[in-house]
């Protein structure tokens, strides 16, 4: 049965941009080419994604005018999927960890506010199974695609639908948007993650070759190792290198990447990076704001006293009311951390009010 109700309006808006503005192929700066809108149902709500897509403009680059989509897009949802990856992870966890039936999972999703029909739950379960079945080494399509592409920008995402649940780890290529490996893990230590990265690395080492060549290379490598022949080191023909890593920068991920891919640049998701870097400033700013607010707490009684007089046409009381509302709006107008420092802003506003008051006093008002 298809969905009978229309999908609810988007409740969240997110704009995603490409983090790596240099073309992974030729290194030239890419240009913003067009925007792409997508709506995805996630556990947090229906998200309207606004995606800024970039293209390489170097006409001698093999990826000339081919799109680079925001790296983070694949963390939200798989290509062309209507439901978020977090929903897929949840459905998998409910089915395999908690052994729930499809109707039970359906009820669970409805209780979380998702607009979904039972048939879709079956589809989501299929997506989960497919995701975990991805084997780079066995997929000819993936091998050929990545072989042509010649490099991979690896993204590591850990999706944990509920606290205490296992984490669905998805390792994907940001250039093609393809999932390279997905595993559901109960623990996500540095060791666990490094093992996943190693697995992808091993598969990528044989990607650029046909299956026969890959086997031959494997055999030759074995023979070489057995003989202890020289020249076994270095990059083998057909290896598709990982040229960059993108993640949200959890400590275990950072350490695992540093261990498994020591030479590869690792970019943290800018949102998380900014949030982490801004935290100490945010804390200080919040404290400053609290202290400032304490000093203007007595504004209400003054305002009330002036209101009656102002209504009677007292010009002085009207001016006092104006100052009161300036202070009120200075207090209530909250900026968004970490870029807006509302404590500092409050200080500036109160400063302006007090300067103005001082001027009035000087004039003998």
Q: Which residues bind Zn ion (CB under 5 A)?
A: 23, 25-26, 56, 58, 61
> What are the E-state strand segments in 151-293?
152-159, 167-173, 179-185, 242-247, 266-268
- Is there a contact between 181 and 207 (Cβ–Cβ < 8 Å)? no
Tokens of 326: 């300036």
CB-nearer residue toward Zn ion: 28 or 326? 28
CB-nearer residue toward Zn ion: 17 or 151? 151
To the nearest whole angstrom, how small is the minimum distance from the Cβ of residue 64 to Zn ion? 7
Tokens of 257: 């990447």
To the nearest whole angstrom, how small is the minimum distance from the Cβ of residue 242 to Zn ion? 18
CB-nearer residue toward Zn ion: 26 or 132? 26
To the nearest whole angstrom, how small is the minimum distance from the Cβ of residue 28 to Zn ion? 5
To the nearest whole angstrom, how small is the minimum distance from the Cβ of residue 244 to Zn ion? 14
To the nearest whole angstrom, how small is the minimum distance from the Cβ of residue 212 to Zn ion? 32
CB-nearer residue toward Zn ion: 55 or 77? 55
CB-nearer residue toward Zn ion: 61 or 213? 61
Closest Cα to residue 133, out of 74, 181, 201? 181
To the nearest whole angstrom, how small is the minimum distance from the Cβ of residue 325 to Zn ion? 55
Residues 6+ apart with CB under 8 A from 7: 39, 41, 46, 82, 115
Tokens of 322: 């104006």
Q: Report the distance separating Cα 334 and Cα 340, nearest Å.
A: 9
Q: Are strands 266-268 and 242-247 parallel, antiparallel or unpaired?
A: parallel
Tracing tokens 């694949």 back to the chain, one arrives at: 74
CB-nearer residue toward Zn ion: 244 or 337? 244
């Amino acid at each position: 049965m298809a969905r009978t109700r229309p999908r609810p309006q988007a409740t969240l808006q997110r704009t995603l941009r490409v983090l790596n503005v240099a073309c992974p192929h030729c290194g030239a700066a890419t240009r913003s080419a067009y925007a792409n809108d997508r709506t995805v149902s996630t556990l947090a709500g229906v998200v309207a994604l606004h995606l800024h897509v970039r293209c390489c403009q170097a006409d001698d680059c093999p990826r000339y005018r081919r799109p680079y989509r925001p790296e983070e897009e694949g963390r939200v949802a798989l290509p062309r999927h209507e439901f978020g990856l977090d929903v897929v992870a949840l459905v998998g966890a409910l089915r395999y960890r908690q052994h729930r039936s499809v109707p039970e999972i359906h009820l669970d999703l409805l209780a979380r506010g998702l607009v979904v029909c039972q048939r879709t739950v079956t589809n989501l379960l299929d997506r989960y199974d497919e995701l975990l079945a991805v084997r780079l080494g066995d997929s000819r399509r993936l091998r050929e695609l990545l072989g042509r592409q010649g490099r991979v920008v690896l993204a590591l995402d850990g999706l944990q639908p509920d606290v205490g649940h296992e984490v669905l780890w998805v390792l994907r290529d940001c250039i093609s948007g393809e999932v390279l490996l997905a595993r559901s893990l109960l623990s996500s230590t540095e060791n666990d993650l490094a093992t996943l990265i190693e697995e992808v690395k091993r598969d990528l080492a044989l990607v650029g070759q046909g299956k026969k060549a890959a086997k031959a290379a494997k055999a030759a490598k074995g023979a070489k190792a057995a003989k202890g022949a020289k020249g076994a080191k270095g990059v083998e023909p057909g290896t598709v290198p990982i040229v960059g890593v993108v993640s949200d920068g959890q400590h275990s991920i950072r350490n695992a990447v540093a261990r498994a891919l020591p030479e590869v640049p690792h970019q943290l998701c800018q949102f998380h990076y900014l949030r982490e870097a801004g935290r100490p400033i945010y804390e200080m700013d919040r404290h400053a704001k609290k202290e400032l607010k304490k000093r203007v707490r007595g504004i209400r009684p003054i305002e009330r006293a002036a209101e009656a007089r102002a209504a009677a046409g007292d010009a002085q009381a009207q001016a006092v009311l104006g100052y009161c509302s300036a202070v009120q709006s200075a207090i209530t107008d909250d900026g968004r951390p970490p870029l807006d420092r509302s404590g500092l802003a409050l200080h500036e506003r109160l400063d302006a009010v007090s300067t103005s008051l001082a001027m009035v006093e000087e004039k003998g008002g």
